């Protein structure tokens, strides 16, 4: 009898441990996703606010705790309970200042995200980032934006759906209030070895916007295709017919007239995104 009772106690303890572990894993993912989403929303609201105020430069102070890493930031990987608890304990008020370039919108897949002027691991937790060796948005040449696509439905998780939306619009609104309108021209998969041309400003002689994310795993549009790791999915976008330059010049004139300020004038704002809010 004592043996059976001891066995039941051990089983109960093990079940309790499994249950608590499950709660920690589920709860931590909810908290991480919520904080990252709040930072992204804060960034978008900051861009929209400064545009309403006439445009200018924006920096955002974002949290950098390891706990907020995107699942699989270094590739899809599982975490042990000990690692997860250690990351939760590392939560602090430490922040990093990042420069915002604007907002990207892709209506056909219901995407709206902030664009950071860096592809650092911290920036890509909260939006998409411009690869530094490529052009600025709206310039002649190649501008490359990166975003994560992980199982936890991160920033570009459904970007591959754009294979079915050739010709649809992509809208980038920069912090100076200028709207850049593109259409989806082509999509392609490349290995990391073939990615280099897309990381150069001179990959195109005319204005192009490229969007890139991880492309490995099962193809969402063809269940018979499974791509290996080190595969990237790229969306190539071109300005809508007529180009962006003429419209952008008109927008700059309108902003200048409304502000009655020199064209070189720049407003600079810094916003602080809180580590935690009540929900």
12: domain CATH number is: 2.40.260.10
Q: Which residues pair with 269 in a beta bridge?
A: 58
Residue 76: which domain range?
A: 2-272
Q: Which residues pair with 213 in a beta bridge?
A: 233
pTM of the model: 0.77
Quick check: is 122 in a domain? yes
Q: CB neighbours (10 Å) of residue 43?
A: 25
CB distance 153 to 140 below 8 Å: no
Distances (CA, A) of 40 to 17, 100, 196, 250, 258: 35, 11, 29, 30, 29
Q: CB neighbours (10 Å) of residue 104?
A: 24
Q: CB neighbours (10 Å) of residue 270?
A: 11
pLDDT at 237: 98
Please give the Cα distance from 215 to 176 (Å, whole number): 33
In a structure prediction context, what are the per-residue pLDDT tens digits for the chain, which is 279 residues long?
Answer: 556 555 455 555 445 444 444 434 444 677 778 888 899 999 999 999 999 999 999 999 998 877 778 766 654 455 555 555 555 555 556 788 999 999 999 999 999 999 999 999 999 999 999 999 999 999 999 999 999 986 656 789 899 999 999 999 999 999 999 999 999 999 999 998 899 999 999 999 999 999 999 888 888 888 888 888 889 999 999 999 765 545 555 554 454 444 443 333 345 555 555 444 332
* Sign of torsion over alpha carbons 267, 208, 43, 248: positive
Please give the Cα distance from 84 to 56 (Å, whole number): 39
Quick check: is 277 in a domain? no
* Nearest CA among 55, 147, 63 for reference residue 102: 55
256 three-state secondary structure: helix
Domain count, the chain: 1
Quote the Cα angle for 109-148-77, to 5°.
130
CB distance 152 to 218 below 8 Å: no
Find the radius of gyration of the CA atoms of the chain.
22
214 three-state secondary structure: strand
Quick check: is 255 in a domain? yes
Listing DSSP states for 121-145 in one string gives: TTGGGSSEEE-TTSPPTTSSSEEEE
Quick check: is 279 in a domain? no
């Amino acid at each position: 009898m004592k043996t059976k009772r001891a066995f039941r106690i051990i089983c109960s303890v093990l079940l309790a441990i499994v249950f608590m572990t499950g709660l920690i894993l589920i709860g931590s993912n909810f908290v991480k996703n919520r904080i990252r989403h709040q930072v992204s929303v804060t960034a978008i609201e900051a861009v929209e606010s400064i545009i309403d105020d006439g445009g200018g430069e924006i920096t955002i102070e974002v949290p950098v705790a390891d706990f907020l890493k995107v699942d699989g930031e270094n590739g899809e990987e599982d975490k042990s309970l000990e690692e997860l608890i250690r990351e939760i304990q590392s939560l602090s008020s430490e922040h990093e200042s990042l420069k915002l370039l604007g907002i990207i919108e892709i209506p056909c897949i219901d995407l709206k995200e902030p664009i950071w002027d860096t592809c650092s691991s911290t920036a890509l937790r909260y939006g998409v980032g411009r690869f530094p060796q490529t052009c600025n948005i709206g310039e002649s040449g190649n501008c490359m934006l990166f975003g994560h696509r992980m199982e936890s439905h991160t920033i570009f998780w459904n970007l591959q759906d754009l294979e079915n939306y050739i010709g649809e619009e992509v809208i980038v609104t920069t912090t100076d209030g200028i709207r850049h309108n593109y259409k989806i021209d082509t999509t392609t998969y490349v290995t990391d070895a073939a990615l280099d041309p897309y990381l150069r400003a001179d990959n195109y002689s005319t204005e192009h916007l490229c969007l890139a994310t991880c492309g490995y795993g099962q193809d969402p549009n063809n269940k018979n295709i499974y791509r290996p790791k080190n595969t990237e999915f790229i969306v190539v976008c071109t300005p809508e017919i007529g180009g962006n330059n003429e419209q952008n010049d008109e927008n700059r004139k309108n902003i200048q007239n409304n502000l009655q300020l020199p064209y070189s004038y720049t407003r600079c704002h810094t916003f602080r995104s809180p580590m935690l809010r009540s929900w």
